[in-house]
Structure 1
Amino acid sequence: MTTHRGPLALLALFVGLALPVVPAAARPAPATLPAIFPAPAAIALGNGSFALGEAVVLVAAPGADAATVALVRSALAERGIAVSAAARLPATLDRAHVVVGGGDSAPVRAALARAGATLDDQPEGYTLATVARDAGLVVLAGRDAAGQFHAAQTFRQLLRRDALPALVIRDHPAMPIRGTIEGFYGAPWTTQDRLRHLAFLGSVKANTYVYSPKDDPFARDRWREPYPAATLTELGTLVDAARAQHVDFVYAISPGPSVCFSDPADLAALERKFDALRGLGVHRFYVALDDIEYKKWNCAGDEARFGAAGAAAAGTAQAQLLNAVQTGLVRRDPDARPLIMVPTEYYDAKESPYKAALRERLDPRIVVQWTGTDVVPPAISIPDAKAATKAFGRKTLLWDNYPVNDYAQTTGRLLLAPYARREAGLAGELSGILSNPMNQEAPSRVAVTGVAAFAWNDRDYDAERTWHAAARALAGDDARATAALLTFFDTQHLAPTFGSQPWQEQAPRLKAVLDGVRATLADGDATARAEAVATLAAEADAIAAAPDVIRAGAVDPGFAAQSAPWLDAMARWGRALQLSAAGLGAAEAGNPAANGYFAASRRLAAEAAAVPTIKGATRFDGTVKIADGVLDRFVADAPTLIAAPPAR
């Protein structure tokens, strides 16, 4: 009789050791590396793991951030874990304890010592440590209040597991500014959209939201006028919600179309507008000078002050106004953060008279935004960012025009590809990244999750894994809904530029499947062809079913509502592909019914291609695109891949 010996047993025989036999039920669960997004700066596993059980003791250190404590409590409650409070750690833990607070507080220092961990001392940094001894210990230690909150967001992710591994995470962001700028044209987000988005930003450790909708008349066309009281109340609600998420609410104004740079009255109007927002708790402001004509003046006074209109004169005039605004912000508010501006030449790093004037005259405290090598850049490299640093005389804040869909090339599209083709190491040359999202808030989270993760830790960023994490978050960790979302995302993978060539291809996963089917039908034997048709039918079933799965309730309802026309069209395209698969199967069997299947498929494809977008939801209305150039082409070509016999 021959007995198979595993590699460990063979090793034991080789070194003369005996391996004890431990029943599987008695073995402690091993610690396994958790998937945390954004990827932490450093994570190390310890020995063992532990379950929190039905109840834990929460030790909130004196001065612990209130929003963090509330988040920890709600995260535990969502898992059905009861929480009681204590002021300090006992010598022996009879129940799992969670310690939360600043790294300089006595309870947190004591907990870190038990864990053998030290505090991450970078801005917004934190240490999260767990100890799998006694009943278990978790410590969430923040370098500052934001760091505490970020630690709680990581803890929330760990709670998805039944058992917490022993580990130490020391973490902090690579870039100081991370988030979104609601800077698109077309229908602005609603207040409810913004509230949901602020909560999302907090969950992915982003820290900045810029209010800059192009269609807010009181921020652009009528910028000199005060906001109506009701609008101020809504903005105040957003400011409070942002604060609770440790997100900096930045108010942006766009005076460029009508401002008179030399007129003290216009400076005063800007300051009055900022004063009103400061009264709501806003401490950071932004002046947008993009998408304006800078080769003519809006008033005679500017020509008298700065000379003939032109790029260099515009740079000089803008710098003078912005410097005065910056000085006023500091005078009025000791907590004021540096002013942010977006220049008129925002879309490249080429040397120009305008950039030279801005570089030489703009207050060095003012942050300058830049969109990369183009308005919608296909990629951004470290040399690109270095060129921008040189051109503007400071590290720039990247305004990344992804996944915004307010330009003609995006008509009929949701942009749901991963955030990619931004070079690791950009944190060394940028002050941060702000994504310009889509008019559709919930679908925007797919790409913005990647933006936040890249800005947090660009060197360890994995676009594909983060893309999957975004799907899981939208699906509430439901596996079937996550798979349906990823199928849908693939049909919206194309990312256009302002030119004719996209920077991300359409439906790469589906294209690989369909290309494989084509190749097998062309060159495979009968068995292989039958298997290819079966593969095609399974793919068609997944596409046809995905919309109903997405609408079934597990997925964020805002995502389903804002994607409604795309889901409608996807269901039709899925049925068209099912009929194409049935037609190919019939043709392979020599069944003349194939022709009827193909005709029905063409009719459904025509219906799918005619589904319109939600009128007025985006800047350009049109028909919905679903895996265009891939799915439509295959459905059109299917009748030619296997010759169907004529109808009798």
Structure 2
Amino acid sequence: MTRRTGRTLALLLATLAVTPAGADPATLPAIFPTPVEMALRGADTIALGRSVVLVAAPGTQPETLALVERGLRDAGVRTIAAARALSPSADRAQIVLGTGDTAPVRAALARAGTTIDDAREGYTIATDADGAGVVILAGRDADGLFHAAQTFRQLARTGPIPALLIRDHPAMPIRGTIEGFYGKPWTMADRTKHLDFLATVKANTYVYSPKDDPHARDRWREPYPAATLSALGALVATARRDHVDFVYAISPGPTVCFSDPADAQALERKFDALRGIGVRSFYVALDDIEYKKWNCDRDAAAFGPSGAEAAGVAQAKLLNVVQADLLAKDAASRPLIMVPTEYYDAKESPYKAALRQHLDPRIVVQWTGTDVVPPAIAISDAKAATKAFGRKTLLWDNYPVNDYAQTTGRLLMAPYTRREAGLSGELSGILSNPMNQEAPSRVAVTGVLAFAWNDRGYDADRTWRFAARELAGGDPHATDALLTFFDTQHLAPTFGSQPWQEQAPRLKALLDRVRETLADSTPDRRRAALAELARSADELTDASDAIRAGVADPAFAEQTRPWLEALQLWGRALRQTAAGLSAADTGSRAATRYFAEAKRLAAEAAAVRTIAGATRFDGPVRIADGVLDRFVTDAPGLIAIPAPK
């Protein structure tokens, strides 16, 4: 035996001593958003069993403790015993949680031989597999500890927890959504669910800015009715529990007089009322307004003739007054956020130069990228925006919003892609503008927020599949059905004629293979291709029922109802098409009948319309349009059908 062989054998024997014969090896778990650092620390695992000891350090917030307890119960734990400190001889797994400045957590981290991730909102999860095992959840701050609990929720539900170390923190300071679309706003129930969802993907910001809230835009000077203010207060409380900053946005631009102290005072009064229900972050939206003419003669006297540069000066003056008032009333208030009138590119202009020169540097500026709906965003684009606005911008990403004409009949559920890794170095954060349909929006929003958390470690396709599993409550059949559905809603338009995401890439690849096989192949290969086509048709047909039965939140099925109806009809049309091609391939004139039925079903599917009033533009539902409909139309010409004798 050589010396090298001896060392290899010794290493193998040592490994077998840790992992008993027949035991499953420890595997690196899949966590979303992807942690900055995650590594196995050996082959051991910690089984939670039916009873654990929970050591919650002083100051642990109730919602964080409740989240950990819920994760344990979902993992099958039935008894959770409380303790003040680790026991060196516990007969069951111990879970320690708290911030890094507490004694129980410091002691546990020392035992595990690691330290806290010290970035804002950072956390460390470490395991010690000695004895019954210890799992440590340590937050740099209360937010970081809450994020650790969200990661633990994912770890606990996969079975035994492997010996590992996770050190994690967000790449971008601001991560979340802005309810900033036109059309029917979300209901308060939608918003509550959305805030709870944001917590699961470690978001920290939600901006309330529905364009059709009259008290935030057309009648912005008027106070909210008491009932509405109370409902908003309940949302603010939910956001606080979910460690999400509730930002209230107002849109005074269509009527504001920038130089009138009365209008500045009206803004301050509105913010004071919202502060009374717990809001601590505020936003002034100046998008989608006519900024080259004044709303009042007073502005002409104060700022001169109307125009882009004068508008920038006037807007800066008003926003600076509001920012100063916020700080005077609450020294701990977050900086005011604004969206400028020129929000959609980074080209130098008199308006941007005026903002850059006059706007308080503490105020955060939003920017939508190189266009209103940009096909891609590169680091160089963000650098240009920083130069144009004189500060790092907060990206308002208009995906997956579907309130413009090009999105009529569509749900936008492709993976979040074509945003360059490294943008975290040039942006202050990302806010996604979601769809009018809250539950379907979670698919794309999950990707946006995973990118904002760790843009360098982001994997679009894996995150997309994770979003499907979450909606399916972990059910594999429902997950596959959702992915089939998502593929038919893959197209993402821009304001131009060219989409930035293609339609139904998975289905198109299959249909292209079928065309190519029918064009030039042997009979056996043709039969195999047609059998694959029939299976795909069955998947499309059956997906709707699987989704309705399997999604964890019934709101998803309700908000996608016409799309699921049309999907089933298109699946049946493709099933008849496959039958017609198979009949034609064997020389059967029954093909004509099958193709006729496919045509009838396709027409019925194409007539299904969106839910009236649910989006800004109503219209026919689109299902893999340009791909599926084209194949059904072309199929009768792919194989010659025998003529009647």
Aligned positions of 1:46-125 closer than 5 A: 46-47=41-42, 48-81=44-77, 82-125=79-122
Which residue does the alignment assign to 1:454?
451
**What CA distance in whole angstroms lies between the structure 2 residues aligned with 1:117 and 1:601?**
63
Aligned positions of 1:199-238 closer than 5 A: 199-238=196-235
Equivalent position to 1:31, from 26, 30, 39: 26
**What CA distance in whole angstroms lies between the structure 2 residues aligned with 1:449 and 1:470?**
6
SS in 2 for 1:195: helix
Residue 310 of structure 2 corresponds to residue 310 of structure 1: no
Question: Residue 93 of structure 1: CA displacement?
Answer: 2.1
SS in 2 for 1:459: helix
**What CA distance in whole angstroms lies between the structure 2 residues aligned with 1:30 and 1:18?**
16
Q: Normalized against structure 1, the TM-score is what?
A: 0.97
Comparing 80-89 with 52-61, greater Cα deviation is found at: 80-89
Question: Residue 556 of structure 1: CA displacement?
Answer: 2.2
Percentage of identical aligned residues: 71
Question: Residue 14 of structure 1: CA displacement?
Answer: 11
Question: Residue 130 of structure 1: CA displacement?
Answer: 1.3
SS in 1 for 2:121: coil
**Backbone CA RMSD of aligned residues:** 1.8
- The answer to whether the Cα contact below 8 Å between 1:223 and 1:254 also exists between their aligned partners in 2 is yes
Which residue does the alignment assign to 1:6?
none
Question: Residue 28 of structure 1: CA displacement?
Answer: 4.4
Comparing 443-452 with 42-51, greater Cα deviation is found at: 42-51
**What CA distance in whole angstroms lies between the structure 1 residues aligned with 2:140 and 2:479?**
35
Question: Residue 17 of structure 1: CA displacement?
Answer: 7.3
Residue 134 of structure 2 corresponds to residue 137 of structure 1: yes
**What CA distance in whole angstroms lies between the structure 1 residues aligned with 2:68 and 2:10?**
47
Deviation string 1:465-524 (CA, Å, 9 cap, x unpaired) is 100110010000110000000000000000000000000000000000000000000011
Deviation string 1:263-322 (CA, Å, 9 cap, x unpaired) is 110001000000000011111000000000001111110001000100000000000000
Comparing 548-557 with 103-112, greater Cα deviation is found at: 548-557
In structure 2, give the amino acid aligned to 1:76: L
- The answer to whether the Cα contact below 8 Å between 2:475 and 2:550 also exists between their aligned partners in 1 is no
Deviation string 1:149-179 (CA, Å, 9 cap, x unpaired) is 0000000000121110000100000000000
Which residue does the alignment assign to 1:354?
351
- The answer to whether the Cα contact below 8 Å between 2:551 and 2:557 also exists between their aligned partners in 1 is no
Comparing 20-29 with 474-483, greater Cα deviation is found at: 20-29
With over 3 angstroms needed to count, the CA separation of the structure-2 counterparts of 1:483 and 1:196, relative to structure 1, is: same
Equivalent position to 2:266, from 266, 269, 288: 269
In structure 2, give the amino acid aligned to 1:49: T
Question: Residue 12 of structure 1: CA displacement?
Answer: 5.1
Which residue does the alignment assign to 2:36?
41
Aligned positions of 1:53-452 closer than 5 A: 53-81=49-77, 82-452=79-449
In structure 2, give the amino acid aligned to 1:133: D
Deviation string 1:176-232 (CA, Å, 9 cap, x unpaired) is 000000000000000000000000000000000000000000000000000000000
Aligned positions of 1:475-494 closer than 5 A: 475-494=472-491
SS in 1 for 2:371: coil
SS in 2 for 1:398: strand
SS in 1 for 2:220: coil
SS in 2 for 1:384: helix
SS in 2 for 1:617: coil
Which residue does the alignment assign to 1:4?
none
With over 3 angstroms needed to count, the CA separation of the structure-2 counterparts of 1:34 and 1:14, relative to structure 1, is: closer
**What CA distance in whole angstroms lies between the structure 1 residues aligned with 2:8 and 2:163?**
30
In structure 2, give the amino acid aligned to 1:214: K
Question: Residue 555 of structure 1: CA displacement?
Answer: 3.9
**What CA distance in whole angstroms lies between the structure 2 residues aligned with 1:482 and 1:189?**
25
Deviation string 1:521-571 (CA, Å, 9 cap, x unpaired) is 001100000001000000000000000000013442111110000000000
Aligned positions of 1:599-638 closer than 5 A: 599-638=596-635
**What CA distance in whole angstroms lies between the structure 2 residues aligned with 1:441 and 1:161?**
28
Aligned positions of 1:510-529 closer than 5 A: 510-529=507-526
**What CA distance in whole angstroms lies between the structure 2 residues aligned with 1:324 and 1:230?**
30
Aligned positions of 1:556-595 closer than 5 A: 556-595=553-592
- The answer to whether the Cα contact below 8 Å between 2:414 and 2:487 also exists between their aligned partners in 1 is yes
SS in 2 for 1:129: strand
- The answer to whether the Cα contact below 8 Å between 1:115 and 1:130 also exists between their aligned partners in 2 is yes
With over 3 angstroms needed to count, the CA separation of the structure-2 counterparts of 1:616 and 1:171, relative to structure 1, is: same
Question: Residue 433 of structure 1: CA displacement?
Answer: 0.1
**What CA distance in whole angstroms lies between the structure 2 residues aligned with 1:481 and 1:15?**
45
The list of structure 1 runs, each at least 4 consecutive aligned residues, that deviate by more than 3 angstroms after superposition, is 11-29
Residue 466 of structure 2 corresponds to residue 466 of structure 1: no
- The answer to whether the Cα contact below 8 Å between 1:593 and 1:647 also exists between their aligned partners in 2 is no
SS in 2 for 1:318: helix
Question: Residue 614 of structure 1: CA displacement?
Answer: 0.3
- The answer to whether the Cα contact below 8 Å between 2:125 and 2:135 also exists between their aligned partners in 1 is yes
Question: Residue 132 of structure 1: CA displacement?
Answer: 1.6
With over 3 angstroms needed to count, the CA separation of the structure-2 counterparts of 1:15 and 1:605, relative to structure 1, is: closer
**What CA distance in whole angstroms lies between the structure 2 residues aligned with 1:256 and 1:18?**
70
**What CA distance in whole angstroms lies between the structure 1 residues aligned with 2:190 and 2:11?**
63
Deviation string 1:108-150 (CA, Å, 9 cap, x unpaired) is 0111112111100000000011122211111100000000000
Q: Which ranges in structure 1 are unaligned for 5 or more consecutive residues?
A: 1-8
**What CA distance in whole angstroms lies between the structure 2 residues aligned with 1:367 and 1:570?**
43
Question: Residue 64 of structure 1: CA displacement?
Answer: 1.3
Which residue does the alignment assign to 1:540?
537
- The answer to whether the Cα contact below 8 Å between 1:124 and 1:143 also exists between their aligned partners in 2 is yes
**What CA distance in whole angstroms lies between the structure 2 residues aligned with 1:69 and 1:521?**
60
**What CA distance in whole angstroms lies between the structure 2 residues aligned with 1:30 and 1:186?**
52
Which residue does the alignment assign to 1:5?
none
**What CA distance in whole angstroms lies between the structure 2 residues aligned with 1:190 and 1:162?**
37
- The answer to whether the Cα contact below 8 Å between 1:61 and 1:100 also exists between their aligned partners in 2 is yes
With over 3 angstroms needed to count, the CA separation of the structure-2 counterparts of 1:178 and 1:114, relative to structure 1, is: same
Which residue does the alignment assign to 1:598?
595
**What CA distance in whole angstroms lies between the structure 2 residues aligned with 1:248 and 1:528?**
58
In structure 1, give the amino acid aligned to 2:110: A
**What CA distance in whole angstroms lies between the structure 2 residues aligned with 1:14 and 1:259?**
78
SS in 2 for 1:39: coil
Q: Normalized against structure 2, the TM-score is what?
A: 0.97
Question: Residue 647 of structure 1: CA displacement?
Answer: 4.1
**What CA distance in whole angstroms lies between the structure 2 residues aligned with 1:68 and 1:420?**
32
SS in 2 for 1:167: strand
**What CA distance in whole angstroms lies between the structure 1 residues aligned with 2:442 and 2:245?**
18
**What CA distance in whole angstroms lies between the structure 1 residues aligned with 2:8 and 2:312?**
76
With over 3 angstroms needed to count, the CA separation of the structure-2 counterparts of 1:580 and 1:367, relative to structure 1, is: same
In structure 1, give the amino acid aligned to 2:440: P
SS in 2 for 1:552: helix
With over 3 angstroms needed to count, the CA separation of the structure-2 counterparts of 1:146 and 1:539, relative to structure 1, is: same
- The answer to whether the Cα contact below 8 Å between 2:49 and 2:76 also exists between their aligned partners in 1 is no
**What CA distance in whole angstroms lies between the structure 1 residues aligned with 2:611 and 2:181?**
17
In structure 2, give the amino acid aligned to 1:105: T
